[in-house]
Amino acid sequence: MPQFLDTNEPDFEPRFRALLSMKREEAADVNATVADIIADVRARGDAALFELTARFDRFELTPETLKINDDDVMRAMESVTDAELDALELAASRIREYHQRQLPRDEKWTDQTGAMLGWRWTPIAAAGIYVPGGLATYPSSVLMNAIPAKVAGVSQLDMVVPTPDGAINPLVLAAARMAGVDRIYRIGGAQAVAALAYGTESVRPVDKITGPGNAFVAAAKRQVFGTVGIDMIAGPSEILVIADAENDPDWIAIDLLSQAEHDESAQSLLITTDAAFGQKVAAAVEARLTTLERHAIAGASWRDYGAVITVQNLGEAAALTDDIAPEHLELCVANPGALADNITHAGAIFLGAWTPEAIGDYIGGPNHVLPTARSARFSSGLSVLDFMKRTTIAEMTPGSLAEIGPAAETLAKSESLEAHGLSIRARLDRLNE
- Within a domain: residue 376? no
Q: List active site positions.
A: 327-328
Output the CA–CA distances (angstroms, integers) from residue 64 to 50, 52, 69, 199, 337, in the order listed: 12, 17, 9, 17, 54
The pLDDT of residue 25 = 66
Q: What is the pLDDT of residues 226-261, one digit of tens each?
A: 999 999 988 899 999 999 999 999 999 999 999 999
DSSP state, residue 348: E
Give the pairing of strands 238-243 and 229-230: unpaired
Counting as low any pLDDT under 50, the low residues of the chain are none
Same domain, 170 and 293: no
State which of 340, 364, 388 marks the end of a domain. 364
State which of 187, 214, 230 marks the end of a domain. 230
Same domain, 158 and 282: no
The pLDDT of residue 226 = 97
Beta bridge partners of 309: 5, 271
Instruction: Estimate the crossing angle of helix 170-179 against helix 70-78, to 10 degrees.
Output: 120
- H-helix or E-strand spanning residue 173: helix 170-179
How wide is the angle at C-alpha 374 spanned by C-alphas 304 and 281, nearest 5°? 45
Q: What is the pLDDT of residues 296-353, one digit of tens each?
A: 999 999 999 999 999 999 999 999 999 999 999 999 999 999 999 999 999 999 999 9
- Within a domain: residue 380? no
CA 392 – CA 119 distance, rounded (Å):
4
- Within a domain: residue 284? yes
Q: Are the C-beta atoms of 208 and 65 separated by less than 8 Å?
A: no
Instruction: Estimate the crossing angle of helix 295-305 against helix 249-260, to 10 degrees.
Output: 100
Same domain, 93 and 157: yes
Same domain, 38 and 142: yes
Same domain, 61 and 171: yes
The pLDDT of residue 85 = 94
Same domain, 174 and 69: yes
The pLDDT of residue 134 = 67
Same domain, 322 and 416: no
3-class DSSP assignment, residue 148: helix
Same domain, 7 and 62: no
CA 238 – CA 372 distance, rounded (Å):
7
CA 307 – CA 321 distance, rounded (Å):
13
- Within a domain: residue 371? no
Give the pairing of strands 107-110 and 116-123: antiparallel
Same domain, 16 and 163: no
| CA nearest to 150, candidates 119, 173, 174, 129 | 129
Same domain, 177 and 263: no
Same domain, 226 and 350: no
How wide is the angle at C-alpha 160 spanned by C-alphas 156 and 166, nearest 5°? 140
CA 196 – CA 206 distance, rounded (Å):
6
CA 242 – CA 346 distance, rounded (Å):
13
Same domain, 207 and 239: no
The pLDDT of residue 214 = 87
The pLDDT of residue 181 = 97
Domain count, the chain: 3
- Within a domain: residue 373? no
- Within a domain: residue 199? yes
Q: Provide the 10 A C-beta neighbour count for residue 65.
A: 15
- Find the CATH number of the domain harbouring 296: 3.40.50.1980
Q: Which domain holds residue 318?
A: 3-25+235-364
Output the CA–CA distances (angstroms, integers) from residue 312 to 8, 201, 367, in the order listed: 8, 63, 33
Q: What is the pLDDT of residues 422-432, one digit of tens each?
A: 999 999 999 98
